[in-house]
Homo-oligomer: A and B are copies of this chain.
Amino acid sequence: MNETPAGRPTLETVARAAGASRATVSRVVNGSTTVRADVAESIRRAIADLGYVPNPAARSLVTQRTDSIALILPESATRVFSDDAFFPGVIRGVGEVLEKADKQLVLLLASTRSSHDRILRYVHSRTVDGVVLASMHGADTLPEELRAAGVPVVTSGRPLGEATVPFIDVEHASGVAAAMNHLVGLGRRRIATIAGPQDMVAGRERLAGYLSGLQALPGAVPLVEEGDFMRQSGIDAMERLLQRDPGIDAVFAASDLMADGALRTLRRLGRRVPDDVAVIGFDDVDAARFTDPPLTTVQQPIHEIGTRLAEQILRLVAGEEVAASVVLPTRLVIRESA
Protein backbone atom coordinates (compact mmCIF):
# COMPACT_ATOMS: atom_id res chain seq x y z
CA MET A 1 0.00 0.00 0.00
CA ASN A 2 2.32 2.67 1.33
CA GLU A 3 4.64 2.41 -1.65
CA THR A 4 7.97 3.96 -0.83
CA PRO A 5 8.40 6.89 -3.19
CA ALA A 6 12.03 6.34 -4.09
CA GLY A 7 13.05 2.78 -3.30
CA ARG A 8 14.72 1.76 -0.10
CA PRO A 9 15.52 4.33 2.53
CA THR A 10 19.10 5.58 2.69
CA LEU A 11 21.06 7.24 5.44
CA GLU A 12 19.86 10.54 4.01
CA THR A 13 16.22 9.52 4.33
CA VAL A 14 16.70 8.52 7.93
CA ALA A 15 18.62 11.70 8.66
CA ARG A 16 15.83 13.87 7.34
CA ALA A 17 13.17 11.92 9.19
CA ALA A 18 15.06 12.22 12.45
CA GLY A 19 16.12 15.79 11.89
CA ALA A 20 19.79 14.92 12.10
CA SER A 21 22.70 14.76 9.71
CA ARG A 22 23.85 11.75 7.73
CA ALA A 23 27.00 11.63 9.80
CA THR A 24 25.13 11.36 13.06
CA VAL A 25 22.86 8.65 11.77
CA SER A 26 25.93 6.79 10.61
CA ARG A 27 27.34 7.13 14.12
CA VAL A 28 24.25 5.58 15.61
CA VAL A 29 24.19 2.78 13.07
CA ASN A 30 27.78 1.95 13.83
CA GLY A 31 27.36 2.22 17.56
CA SER A 32 29.38 5.31 18.30
CA THR A 33 28.94 6.56 21.87
CA THR A 34 29.41 10.21 21.11
CA VAL A 35 25.76 10.79 20.30
CA ARG A 36 23.40 12.35 22.82
CA ALA A 37 20.96 9.79 24.16
CA ASP A 38 17.75 11.47 23.03
CA VAL A 39 19.10 12.11 19.54
CA ALA A 40 20.25 8.53 19.24
CA GLU A 41 16.84 7.36 20.37
CA SER A 42 14.93 9.35 17.79
CA ILE A 43 17.31 8.16 15.10
CA ARG A 44 16.79 4.58 16.15
CA ARG A 45 13.07 5.09 15.95
CA ALA A 46 13.35 6.54 12.46
CA ILE A 47 15.47 3.57 11.41
CA ALA A 48 12.86 1.17 12.70
CA ASP A 49 9.97 3.10 11.17
CA LEU A 50 11.54 3.31 7.76
CA GLY A 51 12.96 -0.19 7.87
CA TYR A 52 16.37 1.14 7.06
CA VAL A 53 19.14 -1.38 6.38
CA PRO A 54 22.62 -0.17 5.43
CA ASN A 55 23.78 -0.86 1.92
CA PRO A 56 26.81 -3.11 2.26
CA ALA A 57 28.14 -2.23 -1.17
CA ALA A 58 28.33 1.44 -0.33
CA ARG A 59 29.86 0.60 2.98
CA SER A 60 32.57 -1.66 1.63
CA LEU A 61 33.36 0.81 -1.08
CA VAL A 62 34.68 3.14 1.58
CA THR A 63 35.78 0.77 4.34
CA GLN A 64 37.50 -1.69 2.01
CA ARG A 65 35.98 -4.47 4.06
CA THR A 66 33.22 -6.80 2.96
CA ASP A 67 32.63 -8.78 6.13
CA SER A 68 32.55 -11.98 4.20
CA ILE A 69 34.85 -14.95 4.09
CA ALA A 70 35.24 -17.40 1.23
CA LEU A 71 35.35 -21.11 1.82
CA ILE A 72 37.00 -22.81 -1.12
CA LEU A 73 36.32 -26.48 -1.70
CA PRO A 74 38.54 -27.88 -4.45
CA GLU A 75 37.35 -30.53 -6.83
CA SER A 76 38.72 -33.37 -4.80
CA ALA A 77 36.67 -32.17 -1.87
CA THR A 78 33.41 -31.80 -3.71
CA ARG A 79 33.76 -35.23 -5.22
CA VAL A 80 33.97 -36.79 -1.81
CA PHE A 81 31.36 -34.35 -0.64
CA SER A 82 28.33 -36.37 -1.48
CA ASP A 83 29.38 -39.44 0.38
CA ASP A 84 31.20 -38.18 3.37
CA ALA A 85 30.41 -36.30 6.51
CA PHE A 86 33.72 -34.50 6.56
CA PHE A 87 33.03 -31.44 4.48
CA PRO A 88 29.49 -30.89 5.66
CA GLY A 89 30.89 -31.02 9.16
CA VAL A 90 33.60 -28.51 8.38
CA ILE A 91 31.13 -26.21 6.67
CA ARG A 92 28.87 -26.28 9.70
CA GLY A 93 31.75 -25.47 11.99
CA VAL A 94 32.93 -22.61 9.84
CA GLY A 95 29.41 -21.30 9.36
CA GLU A 96 28.65 -21.38 13.04
CA VAL A 97 31.61 -19.25 14.00
CA LEU A 98 31.19 -16.82 11.13
CA GLU A 99 27.54 -16.35 11.97
CA LYS A 100 28.42 -15.35 15.50
CA ALA A 101 30.96 -12.88 14.15
CA ASP A 102 28.34 -11.54 11.76
CA LYS A 103 30.38 -12.46 8.72
CA GLN A 104 29.04 -14.00 5.57
CA LEU A 105 30.15 -17.32 4.21
CA VAL A 106 30.74 -17.41 0.48
CA LEU A 107 31.11 -20.89 -0.90
CA LEU A 108 33.47 -21.35 -3.82
CA LEU A 109 33.14 -24.79 -5.32
CA ALA A 110 36.14 -25.28 -7.53
CA SER A 111 34.65 -27.96 -9.67
CA THR A 112 36.69 -27.59 -12.82
CA ARG A 113 40.22 -26.90 -13.85
CA SER A 114 39.32 -23.40 -15.01
CA SER A 115 38.04 -22.56 -11.55
CA HIS A 116 41.57 -21.79 -10.49
CA ASP A 117 41.70 -18.50 -12.39
CA ARG A 118 38.13 -17.68 -11.54
CA ILE A 119 38.92 -18.02 -7.85
CA LEU A 120 42.04 -15.94 -8.16
CA ARG A 121 40.18 -13.19 -9.95
CA TYR A 122 37.46 -13.34 -7.38
CA VAL A 123 39.86 -13.00 -4.51
CA HIS A 124 41.73 -10.23 -6.28
CA SER A 125 38.52 -8.31 -6.58
CA ARG A 126 38.45 -8.18 -2.80
CA THR A 127 34.92 -9.39 -2.47
CA VAL A 128 36.01 -11.31 0.57
CA ASP A 129 38.18 -10.30 3.48
CA GLY A 130 39.75 -13.70 3.86
CA VAL A 131 39.84 -17.23 2.54
CA VAL A 132 39.48 -20.63 4.12
CA LEU A 133 40.88 -23.27 1.84
CA ALA A 134 39.68 -26.79 2.49
CA SER A 135 41.88 -29.79 2.02
CA MET A 136 43.72 -29.80 -1.25
CA HIS A 137 45.46 -32.40 -3.24
CA GLY A 138 49.22 -32.44 -3.36
CA ALA A 139 51.37 -29.39 -3.84
CA ASP A 140 48.55 -27.11 -4.78
CA THR A 141 49.76 -23.64 -5.74
CA LEU A 142 46.55 -21.94 -4.74
CA PRO A 143 47.37 -21.18 -1.11
CA GLU A 144 50.62 -19.56 -2.09
CA GLU A 145 49.00 -17.57 -4.88
CA LEU A 146 46.31 -16.35 -2.55
CA ARG A 147 48.88 -15.37 0.01
CA ALA A 148 50.77 -13.52 -2.70
CA ALA A 149 47.58 -11.69 -3.58
CA GLY A 150 47.71 -10.26 -0.10
CA VAL A 151 44.58 -11.95 1.21
CA PRO A 152 44.52 -13.67 4.58
CA VAL A 153 44.37 -17.44 4.07
CA VAL A 154 44.01 -20.45 6.32
CA THR A 155 44.06 -23.99 5.01
CA SER A 156 42.62 -27.18 6.32
CA GLY A 157 45.23 -29.88 6.38
CA ARG A 158 48.94 -29.37 6.17
CA PRO A 159 50.03 -28.87 2.55
CA LEU A 160 52.34 -31.41 1.00
CA GLY A 161 55.23 -29.07 0.43
CA GLU A 162 56.39 -26.35 2.71
CA ALA A 163 53.56 -24.61 4.47
CA THR A 164 53.43 -20.95 3.44
CA VAL A 165 50.14 -20.18 5.13
CA PRO A 166 48.72 -21.05 8.55
CA PHE A 167 46.87 -24.34 8.67
CA ILE A 168 44.68 -26.47 10.89
CA ASP A 169 45.37 -30.17 10.95
CA VAL A 170 44.91 -33.18 13.18
CA GLU A 171 47.38 -35.57 14.72
CA HIS A 172 47.26 -38.27 12.12
CA ALA A 173 50.37 -40.01 13.40
CA SER A 174 49.44 -40.41 17.03
CA GLY A 175 45.92 -41.48 16.14
CA VAL A 176 47.13 -44.17 13.82
CA ALA A 177 49.74 -45.18 16.39
CA ALA A 178 46.99 -45.72 18.93
CA ALA A 179 45.10 -47.83 16.43
CA MET A 180 48.15 -49.94 15.62
CA ASN A 181 49.01 -50.41 19.29
CA HIS A 182 45.48 -51.52 19.92
CA LEU A 183 45.69 -54.10 17.16
CA VAL A 184 49.06 -55.36 18.32
CA GLY A 185 47.76 -55.48 21.89
CA LEU A 186 44.91 -57.61 20.63
CA GLY A 187 47.53 -60.07 19.44
CA ARG A 188 47.15 -59.31 15.76
CA ARG A 189 50.25 -60.04 13.75
CA ARG A 190 49.35 -59.74 10.11
CA ILE A 191 48.07 -56.21 9.89
CA ALA A 192 47.25 -54.73 6.49
CA THR A 193 46.20 -51.22 5.59
CA ILE A 194 43.91 -49.59 3.10
CA ALA A 195 45.69 -46.32 2.51
CA GLY A 196 44.25 -43.06 1.26
CA PRO A 197 45.37 -41.21 -1.86
CA GLN A 198 49.08 -40.58 -1.67
CA ASP A 199 48.84 -37.13 -3.16
CA MET A 200 47.04 -35.94 -0.06
CA VAL A 201 48.80 -35.33 3.20
CA ALA A 202 46.10 -37.11 5.16
CA GLY A 203 46.64 -40.16 2.97
CA ARG A 204 50.38 -40.08 3.37
CA GLU A 205 50.51 -39.45 7.08
CA ARG A 206 48.10 -42.22 7.88
CA LEU A 207 50.12 -44.62 5.79
CA ALA A 208 53.29 -43.47 7.49
CA GLY A 209 51.60 -44.08 10.82
CA TYR A 210 50.76 -47.60 9.76
CA LEU A 211 54.29 -48.30 8.63
CA SER A 212 55.85 -47.05 11.80
CA GLY A 213 53.29 -48.88 13.91
CA LEU A 214 54.26 -52.04 12.13
CA GLN A 215 57.76 -51.77 13.52
CA ALA A 216 56.45 -52.98 16.85
CA LEU A 217 56.09 -56.32 15.09
CA PRO A 218 59.58 -57.65 14.29
CA GLY A 219 59.66 -59.20 10.86
CA ALA A 220 56.19 -58.02 9.86
CA VAL A 221 55.90 -57.02 6.23
CA PRO A 222 53.78 -54.05 5.18
CA LEU A 223 50.66 -54.95 3.26
CA VAL A 224 49.25 -51.90 1.56
CA GLU A 225 46.47 -51.24 -0.91
CA GLU A 226 45.46 -47.76 -1.85
CA GLY A 227 41.93 -46.37 -2.02
CA ASP A 228 40.39 -42.95 -2.54
CA PHE A 229 38.76 -42.59 0.88
CA MET A 230 35.39 -43.68 -0.48
CA ARG A 231 33.41 -46.80 0.21
CA GLN A 232 33.74 -48.62 -3.06
CA SER A 233 37.51 -48.32 -2.99
CA GLY A 234 37.50 -49.94 0.45
CA ILE A 235 35.49 -52.85 -0.87
CA ASP A 236 37.91 -53.36 -3.73
CA ALA A 237 41.07 -52.83 -1.72
CA MET A 238 40.00 -55.39 0.84
CA GLU A 239 39.53 -57.95 -1.89
CA ARG A 240 43.03 -57.34 -3.22
CA LEU A 241 44.48 -57.56 0.26
CA LEU A 242 42.87 -60.93 0.92
CA GLN A 243 44.09 -62.20 -2.42
CA ARG A 244 47.60 -61.18 -1.58
CA ASP A 245 47.42 -62.64 1.92
CA PRO A 246 44.41 -64.68 3.03
CA GLY A 247 45.86 -64.82 6.52
CA ILE A 248 45.38 -61.18 7.35
CA ASP A 249 44.07 -60.77 10.90
CA ALA A 250 43.66 -56.99 11.03
CA VAL A 251 43.15 -54.00 8.78
CA PHE A 252 43.62 -50.33 9.38
CA ALA A 253 41.68 -48.26 6.86
CA ALA A 254 42.53 -44.59 6.39
CA SER A 255 38.85 -43.59 6.37
CA ASP A 256 35.63 -44.87 7.91
CA LEU A 257 34.03 -45.18 4.52
CA MET A 258 36.82 -47.46 3.32
CA ALA A 259 36.66 -49.37 6.60
CA ASP A 260 32.97 -49.90 6.02
CA GLY A 261 33.76 -51.14 2.53
CA ALA A 262 36.30 -53.53 3.99
CA LEU A 263 33.71 -54.78 6.46
CA ARG A 264 31.39 -55.64 3.61
CA THR A 265 34.03 -57.53 1.68
CA LEU A 266 35.06 -59.42 4.79
CA ARG A 267 31.48 -60.41 5.52
CA ARG A 268 30.88 -61.47 1.97
CA LEU A 269 33.98 -63.65 2.00
CA GLY A 270 32.96 -65.27 5.24
CA ARG A 271 35.43 -63.61 7.59
CA ARG A 272 34.12 -62.76 11.02
CA VAL A 273 34.88 -59.31 12.42
CA PRO A 274 36.57 -58.90 14.79
CA ASP A 275 37.18 -62.62 15.47
CA ASP A 276 38.99 -63.43 12.23
CA VAL A 277 39.91 -59.95 11.13
CA ALA A 278 39.90 -56.80 13.26
CA VAL A 279 39.10 -53.54 11.48
CA ILE A 280 39.86 -49.98 12.47
CA GLY A 281 38.86 -46.89 10.52
CA PHE A 282 39.65 -43.19 10.67
CA ASP A 283 37.34 -40.18 11.02
CA ASP A 284 34.51 -41.33 13.26
CA VAL A 285 31.74 -40.14 11.01
CA ASP A 286 28.19 -40.66 12.23
CA ALA A 287 27.82 -43.78 10.17
CA ALA A 288 30.69 -45.44 12.02
CA ARG A 289 28.38 -46.15 14.95
CA PHE A 290 26.08 -47.98 12.62
CA THR A 291 28.35 -50.30 10.70
CA ASP A 292 28.13 -54.01 11.33
CA PRO A 293 29.80 -54.47 13.71
CA PRO A 294 30.10 -50.89 14.97
CA LEU A 295 33.42 -49.52 13.87
CA THR A 296 36.43 -48.98 16.07
CA THR A 297 37.98 -45.86 14.65
CA VAL A 298 40.32 -42.95 15.13
CA GLN A 299 38.20 -39.95 15.86
CA GLN A 300 39.10 -36.58 14.48
CA PRO A 301 37.25 -33.46 15.64
CA ILE A 302 35.62 -32.56 12.35
CA HIS A 303 33.40 -29.85 13.69
CA GLU A 304 36.26 -28.30 15.61
CA ILE A 305 38.39 -28.19 12.49
CA GLY A 306 35.69 -25.97 11.04
CA THR A 307 35.41 -23.72 14.06
CA ARG A 308 39.17 -23.37 14.34
CA LEU A 309 39.52 -22.52 10.67
CA ALA A 310 36.95 -19.79 11.09
CA GLU A 311 38.51 -18.47 14.27
CA GLN A 312 41.93 -18.26 12.69
CA ILE A 313 40.76 -16.50 9.59
CA LEU A 314 38.80 -14.00 11.66
CA ARG A 315 41.91 -13.30 13.66
CA LEU A 316 44.00 -12.82 10.52
CA VAL A 317 41.41 -10.56 9.00
CA ALA A 318 41.43 -8.49 12.17
CA GLY A 319 45.15 -8.07 11.72
CA GLU A 320 46.14 -10.28 14.62
CA GLU A 321 48.88 -12.85 14.58
CA VAL A 322 48.04 -16.52 14.50
CA ALA A 323 50.06 -19.66 15.05
CA ALA A 324 51.56 -21.10 11.90
CA SER A 325 49.69 -24.26 12.64
CA VAL A 326 47.13 -25.74 14.96
CA VAL A 327 47.17 -29.50 15.27
CA LEU A 328 44.10 -30.96 16.93
CA PRO A 329 44.19 -34.24 18.83
CA THR A 330 42.74 -37.50 17.62
CA ARG A 331 41.70 -40.40 19.78
CA LEU A 332 40.88 -44.02 19.34
CA VAL A 333 37.20 -44.85 19.81
CA ILE A 334 36.84 -48.52 20.59
CA ARG A 335 33.64 -50.14 19.46
CA GLU A 336 33.26 -53.70 18.27
CA SER A 337 35.21 -54.13 15.07
CA ALA A 338 38.55 -54.30 16.88
Residues on A close to B: CB < 8 A? 8, 51, 53-58, 60-61, 66, 68, 71, 78, 81-83, 85, 87-89, 91-92, 95-96, 99, 104-109, 111-112, 115, 118, 121-122, 124-127, 231, 260-261, 264, 267, 286-287, 290, 292
> Nearest Cβ in chain B — how far from A44, in angstroms?
15
Q: Contact: A290 with B260, CB < 8 Å?
A: yes
A98 closest partner in B (C-beta) = B109
> Nearest Cβ in chain B — how far from A239, in angstroms?
15
Give the one of A53, A112, A118, A124 with max B CB within 10 A: A53
> Nearest Cβ in chain B — how far from A228, in angstroms?
14
Q: Contact: A290 with B231, CB < 8 Å?
A: yes
Q: Contact: B78 with A82, CB < 8 Å?
A: no
Specify how many copies of this chain sit in the oligomer.
Answer: 2
5 residue pairs, one from A and one from B, having the closest CB atoms: A95-B109, A57-B60, A53-B124, A57-B61, A83-B286
In whole angstroms, how far apart are the Cα atoms of A99 and B60 in the complex? 24
The 8 Å CB contact of A292, one of B55, B81, B87, B264, is: B264
In whole angstroms, how far apart are the Cα atoms of A202 and B165 in the complex? 45
Give the one of A58, A78, A95, A264 with max B CB within 10 A: A95
Chain B residues near A66 (CB-CB < 8 A): 57
In whole angstroms, how far apart are the Cα atoms of A330 and B121 in the complex? 40
In whole angstroms, how far apart are the Cα atoms of A81 and B260 in the complex? 20
A54 closest partner in B (C-beta) = B125
The 8 Å CB contact of A96, one of B108, B111, B127, is: B111
The 8 Å CB contact of A55, one of B61, B96, B107, B111, is: B61
The 8 Å CB contact of A290, one of B121, B125, B264, is: B264
> Nearest Cβ in chain B — how far from A103, in angstroms?
11
The 8 Å CB contact of A287, one of B83, B87, B89, B99, is: B83
Q: Contact: B81 with A109, CB < 8 Å?
A: no
A52 closest partner in B (C-beta) = B124
Chain B residues near A60 (CB-CB < 8 A): 57
Q: Contact: B106 with A53, CB < 8 Å?
A: no
- If A57-B60, A58-B61 touch, does A109 touch B82 (CB 8 Å cutoff)? no
